[in-house]
């Protein structure tokens, strides 16, 4: 089974709890990540979380995941999902299963949110279930067997 994973979060996710509860839920970023890490432990997964509002910092983190032990990634790039070719290129180098997560239903929002560059690189996309979107990704990745 996959054991070690990263939750990589992009811009504005550090402001969870302050953003629209309708779209993003009510937990703060710290509350959510702590809860996800603990949930992962209950499934014998070691999860770590990373968040940055800066594209270059996210790319640098993905570059480290090319070289260090990482069995999977849960990816929520927020607005960068819609236009960051540089993050796409970095994700292509990380040869592990990835699931793209969005807290809001990007298909029920503005037109520009309906396209993600990263979906092609991922096993799938979970969108619209607020905080539960992450838990669904963890549940799926926990049951994957190593190839």
Domain containing residue 93: CATH number: 3.40.50.9100
pLDDT tens-digit map of 93-120:
999 999 999 998 888 787 877 889 999 9
What length does the chain have? 147
Mean pLDDT of 21-41: 90
Mean pLDDT in the chain?
92
Q: Which of 2, 29, 102, 134 is catalytic?
A: 102
Place of tokens 């996959």: 2
Range of the domain at 91: 4-143
Nearest to 99 by CA among 84, 85, 82, 81: 81
- Calpha distance 139→116 (Å, rounded): 22
pTM: 0.92
Q: How many domains does the chain have?
A: 1
What pLDDT score was predicted for residue 21?
75
Catalogue the E-assigned strands of 52-120. 72-76, 98-102
**Mind listing the pLDDT tens digit for each residue in 117-137?**
999 999 999 999 999 999 999
Output the pLDDT for position 24. 74
82 is catalytic: no
Handedness of CA 10, 62, 31, 105 (dihedral sign): positive
CA 88, 89, 94, 96 torsion: positive or negative?
positive
Tell me the CA end-to-end span of the chain in Å, nearest whole number: 9
Is 54 catalytic? The answer is no
Where does the pLDDT of residue 75 fall: very low under 50, low under 70, confident under 90, or very high at 90 and above?
very high
- Check pLDDT > 90 for residue 40: yes
User: Which of 24, 29, 39, 82 is labelled catalytic?
Assistant: 24
82's enclosing H/E stretch is none
Q: What is the pLDDT of residue 146?
A: 60
Q: Residue 19: which residues within 8 A CB-CB, separation 6 or more?
A: 12
How much of the chain exceeds pLDDT 90, in percent? 77
């Amino acid at each position: 089974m996959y054991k070690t994973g990263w939750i990589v979060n992009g811009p504005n996710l550090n402001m969870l709890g302050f953003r629209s509860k309708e779209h993003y839920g009510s937990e703060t970023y710290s509350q959510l990540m702590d809860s996800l890490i603990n949930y992962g432990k209950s499934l014998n997964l070691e999860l770590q979380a990373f968040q940055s509002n800066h594209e270059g910092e996210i790319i640098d983190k993905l570059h480290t995941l090319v070289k260090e032990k990482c069995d999977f990634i849960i990816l929520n790039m927020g607005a960068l999902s819609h236009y960051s070719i540089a993050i796409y290129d970095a994700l292509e180098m990380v040869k592990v299963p990835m699931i793209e997560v969005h807290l809001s239903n990007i298909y029920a929002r503005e037109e520009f949110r309906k396209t993600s560059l990263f979906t092609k690189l991922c096993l799938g996309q979970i969108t619209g279930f607020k905080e539960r979107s992450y838990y669904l990704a963890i549940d799926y990745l926990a049951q994957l067997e190593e190839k």
